[in-house]
């Protein structure tokens, strides 16, 4: 059973959003390391730049809850090469024709809660961000996550 099948089966609507995941520890470590290197106060701002560059991966790793929304049928999902079917991989290293799914996630990154919709493959690798909203309170983020379609 791959991650998408697990998400479909469980859908995890009753997750424990209070728990601290490994991404929270990674975020704190990132900020701490940047502050040691560049001075107090610089760590948070620099961490935000790192996160902006790799936003999809950070959001996926920082999730505390996930819920399967459905298949992703975006453009380019089933492309053909010049001579019919290509070798199965595109220039970005994504398997062409791979099963991609829309997954709603709820999490906390730094001091902010978020609800987001990500594109995830069957191996559990995030490939894109469709939507994201940030919140100061967990209950508001949870409501947005529960309403995601």
Tokens (6 digits) for 2: 């791959």
Query: Residue 56 pLDDT > 70, yes or no?
Result: yes
Higher pLDDT, 79 or 93: 93
> Whole-angstrom Cα distance, residue 95 to residue 59?
22
> Distance between CA 120 and CA 27 in Å, rounded?
22
Q: Which is more confidently placed, 16 or 104?
A: 104
Q: Is 16 exposed, middle or buried (0-12, 13-18, 19+ CB in 10 A)?
A: exposed
- Give the residue numbers spanning the domain of 23: 3-147
How many angstroms separate the Cα of 85 from the Cα of each of 30, 81, 93, 127, 143? 43, 5, 16, 22, 43
| Number of folded domains that form the chain | 1
| Residues paired with 128 in a beta bridge | 119
Give, as one character, the DSSP assignment of residue 94. P
Residues 22-42: pLDDT tens digits?
Answer: 555 677 888 899 999 998 888
Q: Which of 45-59, 93-107, 114-128 has the lowest mean pLDDT?
A: 93-107
Residue 87 pLDDT class (50, 70, 90 cuts): very low
Kindly state the average pLDDT of the residues 144-149: 95
User: Could you tell me if 104 and 60 are in contact, meaning their C-beta atoms sit under 8 angstroms apart?
Assistant: no
Q: Which one is predicted more confidently, 96 or 83?
A: 96
Binned at pLDDT 50, 70 and 90, residue 79 comes out as: very low
d(CA 43, CA 147): 34
């Amino acid at each position: 059973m791959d991650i998408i099948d697990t998400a479909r089966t469980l859908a995890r609507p009753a997750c424990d959003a209070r728990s601290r995941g490994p991404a929270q520890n990674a975020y704190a470590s990132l900020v701490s390391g940047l502050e040691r290197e560049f001075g107090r106060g610089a760590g948070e701002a620099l961490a935000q730049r790192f996160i902006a560059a790799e936003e999809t991966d950070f959001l996926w790793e920082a999730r505390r809850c996930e819920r399967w929304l459905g298949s992703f049928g975006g453009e380019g999902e089933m492309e053909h090469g010049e001579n019919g079917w290509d070798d199965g991989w595109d220039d970005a290293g994504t398997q062409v024709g791979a099963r991609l799914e829309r997954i709603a996630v709820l999490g906390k990154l730094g001091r902010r809660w978020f609800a987001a919709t990500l594109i995830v493959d069957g191996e559990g690798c995030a490939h894109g961000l469709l939507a994201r909203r940030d919140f100061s309170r967990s209950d508001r983020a949870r409501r947005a996550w529960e309403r995601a379609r």
